[in-house]
Structure 1
Amino acid sequence: MKAVQLGKYNSEPALVDVAEPQVTSPLDVVVRVGGAGVCRTDLHIIEGQWEQKSGVTLPYTIGHENAGWVHEVGSAVTGIAVGDPVILHPLATCGLCRACRAGDDVHCVNSAFPGIDSDGGYAELIKTNARAVVKLDPSLQPVDVAALADAGLTAYHAVRKAAAALRPGDKAVVIGAGGLGHIGVQVFKALSSAEMIVVDRSPEALKLAGELGAEHLIVADGSQVDAVMDLTGGNGAEAVIDFVGEGGAIEDGVAMLRRAGNYYVIGYGGSLNVPTIDIISTEINFIGNLVGSYNDLAELMVLAAQGKVSLHTSTYSLTDFARALSDLDAGNVRGRAILVP
């Protein structure tokens, strides 16, 4: 089969012929890929940022946002059948460790992360296990939801935390309304009655955020902190949900936060440098967010089936992966880029 493999860090991946994945365990599931999301993390992987953390042996197939149709199942798999449309939780977890038994499968100590530490979905077929498979509602197509497997799941995981702490009349700042942020805006609108303030450099991204339900739109032109303070009576927002995490967004976000506020870190690439006296004197909280749980993904698929969360996508053929990565790196992708084998 064809697959996009990374053979060397800081080098362009290549489309190569590789062996098809095989069922070797009773709970294995092989999926024919219908859509693979192109994520900024893929760029970071190529640059070598994940080399030490993942420990993966090169060459391997990248791609961790995947949906498609069940191709083959192990002997112990129930509830899904060959041909079923599915979306894949990015982690293939064990179900036996303490984290899994507590429903915190994101922190499974025995997990595999296809596309990060094992072969992923920039390919015709991908192997995972039954614990990672969410069957799709008939109204949903794999290509339309693929990026929700990680980008959408991460946004849902963070926004659900924020929504649980916010009350009617509170205000929350969403920094970044691009590929990840535009999903977060929709999830926020579906889960919270707090007022949403969206900050972005792009007028097009802000226009989309407004169409998706954001009450306030602020251009990041240097006056964004003052604009947020004006909207919050000089107090700052109860929550800041940061989908950027670099390029001055963190400093702005902290300045936009009120006393006892919560700062949700999703985007990464920068550094958090806040004097500890400022943290303790205002009792602000910094909350990290990775991907969500299996249940988070199942809940997100309910919102997708209800039409409350949808992706703005640009599709590319698998053979055109290099252009997809280049467009993403250059900021030329509106919403999410999806590879279609």
Structure 2
Amino acid sequence: MKALRLHEYHQQPAYEDASDPEIDGPWDVIVDIGAAGVCRTDLHVIEGQWEEIQHPELPYILGHENAGWVREVGSAVTNVAPGDAVIMHPLTSCGLCGPCRIGDDSHCENATFPGLNVDGGMAEQLRTNARAVVKLDESLEPADVAALADAGLTAYHAVRKARAHLVPGTHAVVIGAGGLGHIGIQVLKALTASTVTVLEKSDQAMELARDLGADHTVQMTDDDTVAGEVDELTAGGAHVVFDFVGEQGAEKLAPRLLRDGGFHHVIGYGGTIELPTIEIISREISVIGDLVGTYNDLVELMALAADGRVSMTTTAYRLSAGAQALADLDAGSITGRAILVPDRLMS
């Protein structure tokens, strides 16, 4: 099969031949990839940021946002069959450890993470397991939802965690309306009654945010100006800030946008948050990390997608053009999310 494989950090992955995955255990599932999302995490992987966390053995195939059609299943698999359209949870969890037992499978103690520490889905085929596959509604195509496997799932997970604090009359601020943020806006409108203000640099992304239901948009300029506009719009600060950027200064701006007692949800990453402890205590603000989401979160998100309440804005590239897609993402020239589609599926 063809695949996009990383051979060395700080170098572009190579589009090349790779061995087809094979069934190795009773719970394995082989999927013919319909599309794989291109994520800023892929850029961080190439930069080597995940080397000490996931310890991948190079070379390996990138791609942790994947959907397609079941090709083959192991002897114990009963929840899907060959031909079924599926989306894959980013992690292949065990189902037996403590976190899995309580439904917190995104923190599985024995998980693998295709695209981060084992071969991922920027290829023609992927091996996952029965616990990771979610069968798609007949109305959904793999290419339409692939990037929801991480970008959408993480956004949904963050909003779901914050939902109790977003009752009618509250105000949510979203930093970044890109690949993650434009899903976060839709989930906020679907699950909460809060007013939503979106902060963005890109005019295209701001227009998309308004189209998706944002109540207010603020152009990202200097921090003092932005903080003043948000304070006025929210009448004293946001109840919850969702930072879908997490770097380039957004992580430092976010706490300034909160009212006392507010919640700063960190979704994007790459920067460093520094807050005086007296500020955390005196303002009683909370900083909360959001990692991917659970299997049940993904099932719920697919229900919203099938109902037409959440959709992904995507730009499709051939798998063979994966290096260009990564470069375009790094340059900030993609609206929504890029996806890689195997060349044989592109007309």
Matches of 2:178 and 2:6 in 1, distance apart? 26
User: Which residue number in structure 1 is paired with residue 345 of structure 2?
Assistant: none
- Tell me the TM-score normalised to structure 1 length: 0.99
User: Which residue number in structure 1 is paired with residue 189 of structure 2?
Assistant: 189
Say whether the 8 Å CA contact 2:79–2:130 is kept in structure 1. no
C-alpha displacement of 1:164: 2.2
Matches of 1:153 and 1:107 in 2, distance apart? 14
User: Which residue number in structure 2 is paired with residue 285 of structure 1?
Assistant: 286
Secondary structure of 2:131's match?
helix
Matches of 2:15 and 2:233 in 1, distance apart? 50
Residues 1:226 and 2:228 are matched in the alignment: yes
Query: Matches of residues 44-83 of structure 1 in structure 2 within 5 Å?
Result: 44-83=44-83
C-alpha displacement of 1:303: 0.4
Deviant stretches of 4+, over 6 Å = none
Matches of 2:248 and 2:317 in 1, distance apart? 29
Extract unaligned runs of 5+ from structure 2: 343-347
C-alpha displacement of 1:34: 0.2
Say whether the 8 Å CA contact 2:29–2:72 is kept in structure 1. yes
Amino acid at match of 1:224: V
Matches of 2:329 and 2:306 in 1, distance apart? 27
Amino acid at match of 1:333: I
Amino acid at match of 2:281: I
User: Which residue number in structure 2 is paired with residue 326 of structure 1?
Assistant: 327
Residues 1:263 and 2:264 are matched in the alignment: yes
Q: Deviations over 1:204-259 (max 9, x none)?
A: 111111111111111111211100111122x2111101001111212221111011
User: Which residue number in structure 2 is paired with residue 6 of structure 1?
Assistant: 6
Matches of 2:120 and 2:279 in 1, distance apart? 42
Query: Matches of residues 1-341 of structure 1 in structure 2 within 5 Å?
Result: 1-222=1-222, 223-233=225-235, 235-341=236-342
Identical columns (%) = 60
- Tell me the TM-score normalised to structure 2 length: 0.97
Secondary structure of 1:67's match?
strand
C-alpha displacement of 1:80: 1.0
Q: Deviations over 1:172-214 (max 9, x none)?
A: 1111001110011001110000100111111211111111111
Say whether the 8 Å CA contact 2:165–2:239 is kept in structure 1. no
Matches of 1:224 and 1:308 in 2, distance apart? 30
C-alpha displacement of 1:307: 0.5
What's the Cα RMSD here? 0.7
Say whether the 8 Å CA contact 2:155–2:180 is kept in structure 1. yes
Matches of 1:252 and 1:24 in 2, distance apart? 48
Q: Which moved more, 1:242-251 or 1:146-155?
A: 242-251
Matches of 1:250 and 1:80 in 2, distance apart? 41
C-alpha displacement of 1:121: 0.4
Q: Which moved more, 1:246-255 or 1:62-71?
A: 246-255
Matched length = 340
Extract unaligned runs of 5+ from structure 1: none
